Amino acid sequence: MISRPHHRLLPALAIILAFATWAPTATAVDGSGAISLTIPPSVRGEAMGGMYASFAQDYSTRWGNPGLLAFVDKSTLGLMYSKLVPDLADDVFYFYGSWIVPTSSIGTLQLDMTYLSYGESQATGTEAEDLGTFNSYEVSPAVGLGFKFLPNLGVGVTVKYVRVDLAPARVLQDATGSGSGTGSSWAFDLGAALTLRRLYVGAVAANLGPDISFIDAEQSDPMPRLARVGAMYDIYASEVGQVRAGFEWERSLVVMGSGPFDKNFSVYHVGGEFVYAGMFAVRAGYLHDAGGDVKSATGGFGFSWANASFEYANAPQAEGLNRLHRLALWYRY
């Protein structure tokens, strides 16, 4: 019998929690919930070792840093999809869709939706009786706004809601007959981005909000609060091509007493890209997450034609799981 979602994991949940150990917030180490908020939707940034905060002006701009929205001057539609553990389950996947709209008055808006499927699980009772199957998931709508505080300084904020549905109440009854496999919360991100000719600097504090409660408040999970700081530099830029590279540091804010650079709660990202004639890009990077046991190279490429772009990234997971293939399609108009 499944007594509580934190004590006995469903098969699909065990799979996704194993996947989450490579996520850039070291979620498996700091004990936070709402895993869907830690999975990066930017395929471009993923291919560059996890570069999101300083120069991620694509369909997922607000996820990396809402301050970067201030520098987006075209409307954008984007979709991203990835199977998370294709070697273990076909119905565990991540989907992200977004719409960015610049305005003439308040800045640039972004609306998006995140959906994380844990797949289908089998429920059994105290006498091993069959209680049927159910699906588990997380869903999170969000709205972000970024505007120029100064000509070269953008600031932004994101407000998001997250609902985590692990299992129906009929399979999570405790000894007193109570229990819930559903929890929800809200959070916000604050970000700033600075451009200095060829140098781009960004900083963000993300997922700041109340804990998610399931059975009761004493068994709540903290939101995956984190801070991220990074910089990107244009090494070479001409009409023919651009070469840029950067570095980002990320720190979980869930556990604060162990020092800012504790290896178990810090993640380091380094990466770069070469863009030829604005049409083809090759990207590479490196992700160092000691707490999540992920120390590996990343890579990918992108094609652009007219206003449409296709992105691909190959990224690592925790030891023992196959690497991920991530795909995105987006359009600017």
Mean pLDDT of all residues in 186-207: 96
Mean pLDDT of all residues in the chain?
A: 85
Mapping DSSP to helix (H, G, I), strand (E, B) and coil, where does residue 69 land? helix
Residue 22 has pLDDT above 70, yes or no: no
**Residues with Cβ < 8 Å from 196, sequence gap 6 or more?**
152
**Residues with Cβ < 8 Å from 248, sequence gap 6 or more?**
50, 51, 52, 53, 54, 228, 229, 230, 231, 268, 269, 270
Residue 216 has pLDDT above 80, yes or no: no
pLDDT at 256: 67
Distance of CA 22 to CAs 39, 112, 246, 288, 295, Å?
A: 9, 23, 21, 10, 9
What's the gap between Cα 236 and its chain centre?
29
Mean pLDDT of all residues in 212-230: 83
- 67: confidence class by pLDDT, cuts 50, 70, 90: very high
Residue 4 has pLDDT above 70, yes or no: no
Question: β-strands 308-315, 294-305: how paired?
Answer: antiparallel
Q: Are 276 and 283 in contact (CB under 8 A)?
A: no
Residue 250 has pLDDT above 60, yes or no: yes
Q: Please state, in angstroms and rounded to a whole number, the distance separating the CA atoms of residues 97 and 174.
A: 37
Domain covering 11-332 assigned CATH 2.40.160.40 in the classification: yes
Determine the straight-line distance between the first and last CA of the chain, rounded to whole angstroms: 52
- 259: confidence class by pLDDT, cuts 50, 70, 90: low
- 25: confidence class by pLDDT, cuts 50, 70, 90: very low
Residue 29 has pLDDT above 70, yes or no: no
CB atoms within 10 A of CB 211: 16
Residue 14 has pLDDT above 70, yes or no: no
Percent of the chain with pLDDT strictly greater than 90: 62
pLDDT at 177: 45
- 176: confidence class by pLDDT, cuts 50, 70, 90: very low
Residue 178 has pLDDT above 60, yes or no: no
Residue 26 or 87, more confident: 87
pLDDT tens for residues 128-165?
777 778 889 999 999 999 999 999 999 999 999 999 99
Residue 209 has pLDDT above 80, yes or no: yes
Mean pLDDT of all residues in 82-111: 92
pTM of the model: 0.86
pLDDT at 166: 84
How is residue 206 written in tokens? 């993300």
Q: Which of 10-14, 43-47, 285-289 has the lowest mean pLDDT?
A: 10-14
Mean pLDDT of all residues in 118-130: 76
Q: Please state, in angstroms and rounded to a whole number, the distance separating the CA atoms of residues 68 and 196.
A: 14
Q: Which of 99-108, 293-302, 313-322 has the lowest mean pLDDT?
A: 313-322
Q: Which of 6-10, 141-145, 227-231 has the lowest mean pLDDT?
A: 6-10
Residue 298 or 32, more confident: 298
Residue 40 has pLDDT above 80, yes or no: yes
